[in-house]
Structure 1
Amino acid sequence: MLIETFADLICPWCYIGKRRLARALADRPRLHVELRWQPFQLNPDMAPGGMERSAYLAAKFGGTERARQIHLVVEETAERDGLPLRLDRVRRTPNSFDAHRLVRMAARRGLGDAMADALFHAYFVDGLDIGDRDTLAGTAASLGFDFQAIKGLLATDAEAAAVASADSMARQLGLQAVPCYIFNRRYALSGAQEPASFLPLLDLAVDEQEGVTVAAD
């Protein structure tokens, strides 16, 4: 089964949703799945260097108090799901385009899903700026990639056209918020759903594809 996740690496609900999908998949161990990351930028017009976090929150939510209320809901949800989340450590809201490029680079070695996990941790737990290319190369190095090689690739336009095309496709399909999960390019499920919400679609795939092996990402 192919599951494509349209998400942004700076979206806390995408971070939570990824864990919930993993929990659902753990309940269906006989299902062979290819997990494929698809980029979606929540802030496509963000400056390349990102934006100071408090200014971003004030602009997006109309003030720090409203942002604090929203963050409290996110933090409580993450805690219930057993996910570490340290929004207090985040100092800049980055442009996530290069981070999406890095996930695609990693996917070529079968590590796209692992790279997404590493970038989520870097941003939501360590509070790192995942728009910074040194940070991105360091995150890649933690998965066994060569730091200088990745930094060199990020200095080129490698995977840039692919990321832009996928993001554009998502908008043409009508996506306005993420996460959104597409199953076998036939069925869609939006939002950071509870694990049980994924099971009917996973069970459908078991019925349709019993015994068919799909290489994991």
Structure 2
Amino acid sequence: MKMSDGNSITVDVVSDVVCPWCFIGQKRLDKAIAAAGDIDVTVRWRPFQLDPTIPPEGKDRREYMLAKFGSEQRIREIHARIEPLGEAEGIRFAFGAIKVAPNTLDAHRVIRWAGAAGDAVQNRLVRRLFQLNFEEGANIGDHGVLFEAAREAGMDASVVETLLPTDADVEAVRTEIVTASRMGITGVPCFLLEGKYAVMGAQDAETIADAIRQVAAAKARGELETAS
């Protein structure tokens, strides 16, 4: 069924920029939006931290991964499973280039500020942070890297330079993460459609597109008026 002009929905993506499945999910969401036809989809990025215990300066990624997974062999197996899935979505995962496992709290603060500059700016920033981390091996916990990513996304970098060294929005981001957990989101990515219907995990593009179509149709029929 083709949607009529004017149909629109919002998709809140709960994700962490150091989650490879979230990068894959972002690519699949793009395909899903294209496949959903003339439905106007607004994408907003919401914070989640896979590991909030990492110190602000980050940790040596090799040591961090060994402590988490136990052996080089296990790490290679995990990467070998993810890399072809990424390649199918146009992602060139360069896990060996990543030297630092960063704390992503500051990245999420910048993503939050990007949202205030508009959905397009926020989407550009999130894409750039995924690329920097996974394809270029940059430390996205580093303020210099975040300043440059913000500038490339079209943000006012001077504002980011002013705010980032302070504790501006630290608690707001942490509160959002806690809220996601209270909603039952324990893994990412999670695509929350119209604040009500969740698609968990990096599902294939057609699954996400079908969810978008169904929710848009229900909204058009006036069935989502009680959605938060």
| TM-score range normalised by the length of the shorter chain | over 0.9
The structural deviation recorded for 1:144 is 2.9
Q: RMSD of the alignment, in Å? A: 1.6
The structural deviation recorded for 1:145 is 2.9
CA contact (8 A) 1:31 1:210 kept: no
**Structure-2 separation of matches of 1:189 and 1:146:** 33
Match of 1:183 among 186, 193, 207: 193
What residue number does 2:117 align with? 109
Match of 2:72 among 60, 64, 71: 64
1:138 partnered with 2:144? no
Change (3 A) 1:63 1:101: same
Which TM-score applies when normalising by structure 2?
A: 0.88
The structural deviation recorded for 1:88 is 1.4
What residue number does 2:37 align with? 29
What residue number does 1:51 align with? 59
What residue number does 2:217 align with? 207
What residue number does 1:129 align with? 139
CA contact (8 A) 1:96 1:130 kept: yes
SS at match of 2:91: coil
CA contact (8 A) 2:22 2:189 kept: yes
Counting aligned pairs with the same residue, the percent is 33
What residue number does 1:169 align with? 179
1:192 partnered with 2:179? no
**Structure-1 separation of matches of 2:213 and 2:155:** 36
**Structure-1 separation of matches of 2:74 and 2:186:** 21
Which runs of 5 or more residues in structure 1 are unaligned?
213-217
One-letter identity of the residue aligned with 2:77: Q
Structure 1 residue ranges, 4+ long, deviating more than 6 angstroms after superposition: none
CA contact (8 A) 1:105 1:159 kept: no
What residue number does 2:93 align with? 85
**Structure-2 separation of matches of 1:149 and 1:187:** 35
What residue number does 1:95 align with? 103
The structural deviation recorded for 1:210 is 4.8
What residue number does 1:10 align with? 18
The structural deviation recorded for 1:149 is 2.9
Structure number with greater CO (CA < 8 Å, separation at least 6) is 1
**Structure-2 separation of matches of 1:2 and 1:162:** 21
Aligned length: 212
Which runs of 5 or more residues in structure 2 are unaligned?
1-8, 223-228
SS at match of 1:33: strand
What residue number does 2:129 align with? 119
What residue number does 2:49 align with? 41
**Structure-2 separation of matches of 1:136 and 1:80:** 28
CA contact (8 A) 1:2 1:183 kept: yes
